[in-house]
Amino acid sequence: MRKFWLIGSLLAALGTGFVALLVVGVFVVAGNLTGGGAGRATGLAKGSVPAAYQALVQKWGNLCPALTPALLASQLYQESGFNPRARSAAAAEGIAQFIPSTWATHGVDGDKDGVRDVWNPADAIPSAASYDCELASYVKNVPGDRSANMLAAYNAGPDAVIRYGGVPPYSETRNYVQTIRGLEESFSAPAGRLQPSEQAAAAISYAQGKLGTPYLWGGTGTAAQRGRFDCSGLTQAAYESVGIDLPRVANDQYNAGPHPGRDELLPGDLVFFSDDLSNSRAIRHVGIYVGGGYMIDAPRTGAVIRFDPIDTPDYFGATRVTRAAAAALPEPGESESLRPVDEDREAEKAKEEAKGQERTEAKGSTGADGGDVDAKGVEARQGGGSEAGGGAAVAGGRSGAASSSPGAVALAGAASGPRRAD
């Protein structure tokens, strides 16, 4: 019954156009996905941990029963965003954010080089796991979830966990435990089939309503930006429309839920692209899957929001957004490794264009593309050439708002021309 309710809501939101047929068709074919749920896996999701640290997290994440590689990964991500040079205002240091006094007591020489170095992940990651498991041993007789008790002991101390018989009633501690556990599923390799997202239809409907809108690097759809988006700005706005707050940048959006395989994709899943297929922190582009091997995305400067195929050499993977995982993600700026804008390389392009413009003006010439860049490197205004020509970037593309049924012409034309600023 649940499956048919979901399909009905998709039809209501999307109408009977081409996208609706794709969405419903994919849900029908994948109907068996509703029959199971993911258990707690011990393996890591593809590329969720940077390749340089994956073996360490996999090894040390199995140090004790209360810990898993995915749980350890979620801790490291929450603490530093996998930044080995991170330093907090409270003087916490390194990828695992040890304060000096805790490191002096619990630091481990993980790589056996005779030095305990908080800035060296080969020492800091084993130290984090060892400290977690030491705390788990202190609270092993406390009733309740052993992993939650371990995390609570990490935040509030084992005495508080023992005294309260579980996670103590401190808001900071409960939020910490909820955050780490909420992130855990985004680092786990799914142990079973994933449930479809009930928010998928409305998120797709939002993105579909933006078809034909010119791309703007750094764009989040504000009135000042004339409703334009970059890739992660579009996906953020689409899920904000259904009450789910996603991070601003694409590589953090990858951590907003579990990761279906290519053959398990459903409409509404976020799909990601990268030049480094072993590291989610290198992701530079994101779109919203609509079925049939296509997504809606904001590709690059000079193009418009459109349909594009996902099966390209830089396809990284997908995320099925969940409210719990999205809510657990750090706020922008909490980690020094988080970047304030999109990961699709437009930053470097904008800087180069700005330098080229300065050189041209120094020679007494005028620019050719008509665009200008503000002091932050974010393109503040697309010139007439970019906007007027945006619809020509794809055969059948349009420069205005699209109807609810884009049709086969726009879809067929999506494959022509470069898709992203690769």
Categorize the per-residue pLDDT at 278 as very low, low, confident or very high, splitting at 50, 70 and 90: confident
DSSP states of 119-182: T-HHHHHHHHHHHHHHHHHHTTTSSS-HHHHHHHHHHH-HHHHHHHTSS-S-HHHHHHHHHHHH
Which residue matches tokens 């021309």? 417
Region 414-419: mean pLDDT is 37
Determine what percent of the chain is predicted with pLDDT higher than 90: 57
Give the lowest-confidence range in 47-56, 287-296, 403-412.
403-412
Torsion of CA 19, 22, 23, 25, to 10 degrees: 150
Q: What is the DSSP secondary structure assignment for residue 418, as one 8-state letter?
A: -
CB atoms within 10 A of CB 144: 13
Average pLDDT value for the chain: 76
Q: Could you confirm whether 79 is annotated as catalytic? A: yes
Measured in whole angstroms, the distance separating CA 277 from the mean position of its chain's CA atoms is: 14
Torsion of CA 170, 171, 173, 178, to 10 degrees: 140
pLDDT at 340: 33
pLDDT at 107: 97
Cα–Cα distance measured from residue 138 to residue 159, given in angstroms and rounded to the nearest whole number: 9
User: Is residue 324 within 8 Å of 285, Cβ to Cβ?
Assistant: no
Of the candidates 297, 273, 300, 286, the residue with the CA atom closest to the CA atom of residue 210: 297
Cα–Cα distance measured from residue 209 to residue 226, given in angstroms and rounded to the nearest whole number: 15
Region 291-319: mean pLDDT is 95
Angle at 343 between CA 338 and CA 347, to 5 degrees: 100
Q: What is the DSSP secondary structure assignment for residue 196, as one 8-state letter?
A: P
Which residue matches tokens 């005028």? 366
Region 133-146: mean pLDDT is 96
Categorize the per-residue pLDDT at 167 as very low, low, confident or very high, splitting at 50, 70 and 90: very high
CB atoms within 10 A of CB 175: 12
Of the candidates 221, 273, 241, the residue with the CA atom closest to the CA atom of residue 420: 273
Task: Tell me how far CA of residue 359 lies from CA of 156, 355, 377, 384, 392, in angstroms.
Answer: 57, 6, 17, 21, 29
Q: Which pTM does this prediction carry?
A: 0.65
Higher per-residue pLDDT: 278 or 107: 107
Candidates 79, 93, 184, 346; catalytic one: 79
Examine the pLDDT at 385 and tell me if it is beyond 70.
Answer: no
Higher per-residue pLDDT: 103 or 47: 103
Determine what percent of the chain is predicted with pLDDT higher than 70: 68
Q: What is the DSSP secondary structure assignment for residue 93, as one 8-state letter?
A: B
